[in-house]
A = this chain, B = another copy of it.
Amino acid sequence: MRISEVAALALATRLLEAHGAPRDHAVLQARILVTAEMKGHPSHGLHRLPRLVERIERGIIDPATKGTQRWRADAVMEVEGSSGFGPVVAMAAIERLAPHIPDLGIGLVALRNANHLGMLSHYVEAIAAMGFIGIALSSSESLAGDPRAMLGTNPVAVAVPTAEEPLVLDLATGLVPMSRINHHATAVPDPEGWRRDAEGRPTTDPVRARAGAIAPFEDAKGHGLGIAMELLVAAIAGSALAPDVRGTMESQSPCNKADVFIMIEPSLASGLPARLSAYLDAVRASPTAKAGEPVLVPGDRARRRREAASRNGFDIDQRLWEDLNALSRSRILAFEGQRS
């Protein structure tokens, strides 16, 4: 079924308020969930709302806190998330650091123990809207399994402001089944598919490959990047590593993952924002794009989907929407009962 942005926001906001979230916290947390639906990423959308509600009821989300901020160094804001809503704690820290970025040139937020942030694109888009380059990294729960999974999804997001829309990249790096990790990470990888010759053809001949190029991303690189992101976040934030991370996928445990935001003042080189936009337009206009289908750059698809969903609404699983409405009715009645 199709619902409107306004209806979805209203339902989620009221449900969270009924559970003790201050209005601005409820609005921001709802915004994050609904925007994920609108961008076409329901994995980060409204199906997480019942879990947030359950976590508040169990006392492992504190809907009222913004966390505790302290300057760990001149350019590093460290935040104890105190089981607050991820979006609320993260945006409070970003807004606290932002006014210092023009003087510092670069700054970092290291955030522990906040709840799930949702799509990281939201945060780097907000940073780009302030005129800064944004990089966001999160650690996350590893996949349950036997053998024990060692890597979280370890999402990374990057936004770079331009003269027009920012570039916005948001992807998961490390979520690979253990079987594939081991297949690709054992001591001597099969070089098949790793390299290309001067004509772009796959080759396993190192001499031909020397004249050519490295093949596009595949699993060994994804695995390496996943481990690197895992260590990067833990080393910056001092937080748990994937096998010990809890609380992003269930309603029993406090959330002990970490999130890192880096904010950078772009170069003030004359004409730079226009040059960046022109480059992205050249990528979009690549002459080999299929007829009528421009090449997209990171962020384009989500932006279009979001704009379309804002006009026309978005599709949601009917059962989920009915469940959310039933939950909302019962809790809001209970809430109003308490009040009266």
Q: Does A126 sit at the interface, judged by CB under 8 A?
A: no
Q: Find chain B residues with CB under 8 A from A297 CB.
A: 185, 227
Q: Find chain B residues with CB under 8 A from A187 CB.
A: 293-294, 296, 301
For the residues of A in contact with B, the DSSP-based class is: mixed
Q: Find chain B residues with CB under 8 A from A264 CB.
A: 108, 236
Find A74's partner among B103, B150, B266 (CB 8 Å cutoff): B103
Are A266 and B182 within 8 A (Cβ)? no
Are A272 and B235 within 8 A (Cβ)? yes
Q: Which of A103-158 contact B (CB under 8 A)?
A: 103-108, 110, 133, 135, 143, 147, 150, 153, 158
Q: Find chain B residues with CB under 8 A from A75 CB.
A: 74-75, 104-107
Are B228 and A169 within 8 A (Cβ)? yes
Are A182 and B107 within 8 A (Cβ)? no
Q: Find chain B residues with CB under 8 A from A173 CB.
A: 217
A298 vs B228: C-alpha distance when bound (angstroms):
8
A76 vs B228: C-alpha distance when bound (angstroms):
24
Find A223's partner among B43, B206, B216, B225 (CB 8 Å cutoff): B216
Q: Does A200 sit at the interface, judged by CB under 8 A?
A: yes
Surface stretch bound by B, among A14-22, A55-63, A278-286, A325-333: A278-286
Q: Find chain B residues with CB under 8 A from A231 CB.
A: 160, 162, 167, 276, 279-280
Find A225's partner among B185, B217, B267 (CB 8 Å cutoff): B217
A168 vs B107: C-alpha distance when bound (angstroms):
23
A206 vs B74: C-alpha distance when bound (angstroms):
46
Q: Find chain B residues with CB under 8 A from A150 CB.
A: 279, 282-283, 286
Are A286 and B147 within 8 A (Cβ)? yes
Q: Does A219 sit at the interface, judged by CB under 8 A?
A: yes
In this complex, which of A78, A264, A293 has the most chain B Cβ atoms within 10 angstroms of its Cβ?
A: A264
Are B185 and A147 within 8 A (Cβ)? no
A200 vs B294: C-alpha distance when bound (angstroms):
32
Surface stretch bound by B, among A2-10, A25-33, A86-94, A237-245: A237-245
Given A210-B43, A286-B147, A286-B178, A133:B235 Cβ within 8 A: yes
Given A289-B182, A295-B186, A214:B103 Cβ within 8 A: no
In this complex, which of A150, A227, A268 has the most chain B Cβ atoms within 10 angstroms of its Cβ?
A: A227
Q: Find chain B residues with CB under 8 A from A232 CB.
A: 133, 135, 158, 160
Q: Find chain B residues with CB under 8 A from A47 CB.
A: 210
For this complex, 28 residue pairs linking A to B, each with C-beta atoms less than 8 Å apart, are A73-B103, A73-B104, A73-B106, A74-B75, A75-B75, A75-B104, A76-B104, A106-B107, A106-B108, A135-B232, A150-B286, A161-B235, A167-B227, A169-B227, A169-B228, A171-B224, A180-B216, A186-B294, A217-B217, A217-B221, A227-B283, A228-B298, A231-B280, A235-B266, A235-B267, A236-B264, A236-B266, A241-B279
